[in-house]
Structure 1
Amino acid sequence: MKIVPVMLKYDYGIAERGESLEKRGFLPALKNIGEEVVPFWLEEHGFPNDKESLQREIISFVKRENPDIVFFVLMRDEVALETIEKLSKKYITINWFCDDNWRFDSFTKYTAPRLRWSITTDKYSLDKYSEIGYSNVVLSQWASYDYVDNIDFENIDYKYDISFIGGISSSRAWAVNYLRRRGYNVECFGAGWPNGRVSYEDIKQIILHSKINLNLSNSVSKDIRYILDDEKNIDEYMRSSKRVEQIKARNFEIPCFGGFQLSQYAPGLEDYFDIGKEIAIFSSIDELELNIRYYLKNENKRMEILKASHKRARDYTYTSVLKKAFETIMNNSKKHRTRRKKAADADKPALKKAAIQTVDFFCRNRMFDLNDKISNRDNCLYHWYLLREKLKEKGYELNTHDINDIAASEFVIYSDMPQSLQRLDNNFLILFETSLIRPDNWLVENHKYFKKIFVWHDDYVDGKKYIKYFWPNKIPDTIDFNIEDKRGFCTLIAGHKLVFHEQELYSERIKAIRWFENNHPEEFDLYGMDWDKSIYSRDGRIIDGNDYPSYKGRIESKYDVLKKYKFSICYENVRDIRGYITEKIFDCFFAGCVPIYLGAPNITDYVPENTFIDRRKFATYEELYSHIKNMPDDEYMGYIEAIKNYLKSEKIRLFSAENFVNTVVEGIISSI
């Protein structure tokens, strides 16, 4: 299941307020549920200043990613109703409605009908959904973004008697001041309070180290003492739509983090906690004071409720609640899709057969399987998957040659030059390997039986028989860069190989590795296959040994490794071939790692020169090391910003899997 969350990256879209709950809570939960999650951050595409272009970018991004689900946590009108309606025609669209208890009539009833599915946290609004004729609604609830396990409750070092975490409001300030006047020491954290906002990690610690964690409502107070305390309070009481208490995320965060909770009662709270045994509640300022005095004096009772609530809260994380909601949605959507597909298939003409010849490893359509973690490492099969889907739209069913017989297929695609041909018509060739590995790929006399040949090699392209393609990549919308993740200085990821040719760069990689190992071993790590194995000549002599002290082993994901390093030695397998720009430099870009590149002589024709370090500019590795070691932080961040800008630009789309697919499909369809 692939999910595209369209959400705010920062709290209310304001960077100064820190990360949003969507990024901290919903995104990790979605990643735990879906096989692939690609977020679209609204602030990075024009919100809130250019909402018109924002709508176009949302539609374009979703179309490019082609997810199963588009997930929203809408605040107001950041995503236009027309945009939602358009996406809902093709994708399962879901919105988490946050405030149905007081915003249903002004917001939800206009938005929900445009969505495939809605999730509400207010059971009392279910009837309202029914009244507007909308049935695809799932009841869920707020939750915690984490659960702290193995807490030693008997030895907690308490720092606060009473604490409150949340933004200031007039009613909250009045309640806190009331308690302080009565002699209680209440520490408050959040926007507007003297202590200010705190990080998510600080929230955990404050909750754990507070004897009593208050959960104060943000709804309008009905206490006559508060109403008459200030003329503004009277106006607020008359005008505010927040007239009903609401269950919020803090109700679940407090017990999940090991805190004792004293919460203002909200309707439905008893559905999640056993009141008096797993949570303490109050409904007035007088009850609040009464409970504070009782639980500060009765430690055993406080601890009994604390332990019970922590145990109960294990199921109240975003991963848990979203998983249940998504299971309901997907089960119902699957039934609907099955019925719709049967009806559509009955009217469709049968697909024509097409074949692709590949090696045995990728047979049985393995080359199209994005869920195969072994063969699809770092999304290397994504372009083949898209090619199959695109040809299906054109009326052709593309399967590997062991499934669709070559002789019986309308056309055949070959990935690199085949050893032999079973037919002489409607053959199409895609060349990947260089002449170092496959010299037969580039012999012109071998090309006469192919209608079109798709090449990356600029010197072959004629726009007629030889069609230019760019190395396909699954391009993320942004890089989630964090300088604190850069614990390593420089790395190299490649397999241990040697080829004897004047243009090969395998030996140049080894020179780089040996230089770092001999001069700055503490600042270099090596990853990849077979560096712990020697390379032998045909007559059995060792031509390169296995003594690489910097070798850290094989890896499952280049992205997960590269994001931990500032720089990466990024050499192509061969130098000085125009247009030979493979995935290597893009792997670095996607991980927010600055590449040190060597390979294609015309790299800057396609990739901006301010996004990478050009190895050709340095005569020795000493010069290169001195340059990157002494690079000022602002210069390094300049590379990162240039990479981010490149990934947002249209220029990067040349190297997208989508562009590769469009090039190949257009070339084939126009020729048969």
Structure 2
Amino acid sequence: MTDWRAEMKQIPFFAEANAALKAALTEQEAARTYRRYVLEARKRGLRPLHGAERDTALRLRLHERASRLGWPKPKGGLHIFLGYASWNWEAVLPEALSPFGEVASFEWRSHGFAEERSDWLDHRDEMNAMMLASFRAANRRRPVDVVVGYFSGLTVSLETIREMTATGTIVCNFCFDDKLHFPGAIIGGRYSTTAAIAEAVDLNLTSDPEAISRYAVHGGLAMFHPEAASPRLHFPHDIPFVHDVSFIGARYGWRPRFIERLKALGIDVACYGQGWPNGAVTNEAMAEIYSKSRINLGFGGIGHSRKLVNLKGRDFETPMSGGLYLTQHNPELALVYDIGREILTYRNEADCAKIIRALLTDPEHAAAIRARGHQRALRDHTYEARWTNALKALGALA
């Protein structure tokens, strides 16, 4: 970015105009993508499969391989191969899968591969070959039941996945970022998103409930699988409250203006994350901040848009840490929480300020919401609960 552009973004009027333009473009792209997939699905006579219908389709697809693998197996009896890149939270994945059995991992960044590098395409096939060699070694030692991938078209080829399934293993792949830019740009001869590999993956896991039909257009079976949280990392700390309201997340888009408007309404928010004066914090420090805040603020918007919303990791980390969670209203939250009893949502700045004032003047009501949110997170939103659902859908677990 040139210096003059950076300087312009420091001027409030231009910063807001830039954010509004980016939001409008993002919303237009999302609307076009939605219409395109609705029309394509209708043209092909496709509809999303859920629940029993999806599970029946999976059984038909997996019958021979599942029979050879001796499925279903007891929890703890599976052999799982995990392929992924660890940037931050992903480091928890081997531990998250360990309750289900032995986990063999290939984390490609630790082998010197990085998809953000300008020469990534020159090394992508090399990474795929090394991962396949690691998979084959694990499979020789003991047949791999399930490959769990954090793959995309940018990182892993259709051929790599097909070579894995040809051995008799079953592949599921998850994505938490497929609401926009789908099917994505063509990079190195294929789509950069999970659209490129959907047909070869046995079960595509997505945090966007509306994406299930998009995967169907690309030949894939998909299942709603939102983010989760680890109770080992995110747990209540027995410490006194320090902040009335806090927020953890990067400073960009409309967030700073929202925080400023809350302040004008008499609500001070302690902000942590990239771009805020308090700076970024570690995962360990996050749980402490959630615990020492009477109210934890959230934003559900995508990029610079307030209209487009999706589920976030904070939606699960905050209640798991025992924090009272007040976030931007998103209809998808009703799929994972009892809104009003376990978490709270706001519609705009004035609504947010009104809810905060009410909570601060009624600590018993706030404590009840905090406790119910924590109980729900422990019951339904751990990684173990999430992967239990996915592995049962596959038919892997007894």
TM-score norm. by structure 1 comes to: 0.42
Q: CA deviation at 1:173?
A: 2.2
C-alpha distance in structure 1 between counterparts of 2:152 and 2:298, whole Å: 23
Secondary structure at the counterpart of residue 289 of structure 2: helix
| TM-aligned CA distance change 1:272 to 1:296, over 3 Å | same
| TM-aligned CA distance change 1:301 to 1:164, over 3 Å | same
Aligned equivalent of 2:89: 21
Secondary structure at the counterpart of residue 395 of structure 2: helix
One-letter amino acid matched to 2:108: L
One-letter amino acid matched to 1:21: W
| TM-aligned CA distance change 1:57 to 1:150, over 3 Å | closer
Secondary structure at the counterpart of residue 198 of structure 2: helix
Q: Give the number of the structure whose residues are more often helix, by fraction.
A: 2
Secondary structure at the counterpart of residue 163 of structure 1: strand
Aligned equivalent of 1:323: 388
Q: CA deviation at 1:205?
A: 0.7
Please list, as runs of the form range in 1=range in 2, the aligned pairs for 1:444-593 lying within 5 A after superposition: none
Q: Deviations over 1:186-239 (max 9, x none)?
A: 12222232222222211111111111101112425566xxxxxxxxxxxxxxxx
Aligned equivalent of 1:248: 312
Q: CA deviation at 1:98?
A: 0.9
C-alpha distance in structure 1 between counterparts of 2:157 and 2:248, whole Å: 33
Q: Is the 8 A contact 2:324 2:366 kept in 1?
A: yes
One-letter amino acid matched to 2:127: L
One-letter amino acid matched to 1:83: T
Q: CA deviation at 1:79?
A: 2.1
Further displaced range: 58-67 or 68-77: 68-77
Q: Is the 8 A contact 1:70 1:93 kept in 2?
A: yes
Secondary structure at the counterpart of residue 96 of structure 1: strand
Aligned equivalent of 2:112: 46
Aligned equivalent of 1:146: 231
Secondary structure at the counterpart of residue 95 of structure 1: strand
C-alpha distance in structure 1 between counterparts of 2:341 and 2:232, whole Å: 20
Secondary structure at the counterpart of residue 352 of structure 2: helix
Aligned equivalent of 1:198: 281
| TM-aligned CA distance change 1:175 to 1:76, over 3 Å | farther
Aligned equivalent of 2:257: 174
Q: CA deviation at 1:147?
A: 5.9
Aligned equivalent of 2:183: 105
RMSD, aligned α-carbons:
2.5
1:282 correspondence with 2:351: no
Secondary structure at the counterpart of residue 39 of structure 1: strand
Q: Deviations over 1:442-486 (max 9, x none)?
A: xxxxxxxxxxxxxxxxxxxxxxxxxxxxxxxxxxxxxxxxxxxxx
Aligned equivalent of 2:190: none
Aligned equivalent of 2:150: 73
1:94 correspondence with 2:165: no
| Number of positions where the alignment pairs a residue of Structure 1 with one of Structure 2 | 300
1:268 correspondence with 2:332: yes
Q: Deviations over 1:3-54 (max 9, x none)?
A: 1211112x2xxxxxxxx21112x221111222x1121111122312432321
C-alpha distance in structure 1 between counterparts of 2:244 and 2:91, whole Å: 31
Q: CA deviation at 1:170?
A: 1.9
Gaps of 5+ in 1: 12-19, 224-242, 335-672
Aligned equivalent of 2:135: 62
Further displaced range: 73-82 or 186-195: 73-82
Q: Deviations over 1:312-331 (max 9, x none)?
A: 11121011111121121134
Q: Deviations over 1:485-512 (max 9, x none)?
A: xxxxxxxxxxxxxxxxxxxxxxxxxxxx
Aligned equivalent of 1:398: none
Q: CA deviation at 1:63?
A: 0.9
One-letter amino acid matched to 1:88: T
Further displaced range: 75-84 or 263-272: 75-84
C-alpha distance in structure 1 between counterparts of 2:352 and 2:304, whole Å: 14
Q: CA deviation at 1:103?
A: 4.2
C-alpha distance in structure 2 between counterparts of 1:222 and 1:70, whole Å: 35
Aligned equivalent of 2:4: none
One-letter amino acid matched to 1:23: A
| TM-aligned CA distance change 1:297 to 1:148, over 3 Å | farther
| TM-aligned CA distance change 1:172 to 1:88, over 3 Å | farther
Q: Deviations over 1:525-580 (max 9, x none)?
A: xxxxxxxxxxxxxxxxxxxxxxxxxxxxxxxxxxxxxxxxxxxxxxxxxxxxxxxx
Secondary structure at the counterpart of residue 123 of structure 1: coil
Identity of aligned residues (%): 27
Q: CA deviation at 1:92?
A: 1.5
Q: Deviations over 1:619-661 (max 9, x none)?
A: xxxxxxxxxxxxxxxxxxxxxxxxxxxxxxxxxxxxxxxxxxx
| TM-aligned CA distance change 1:76 to 1:208, over 3 Å | farther
1:311 correspondence with 2:375: yes
Secondary structure at the counterpart of residue 114 of structure 1: coil
One-letter amino acid matched to 2:250: G
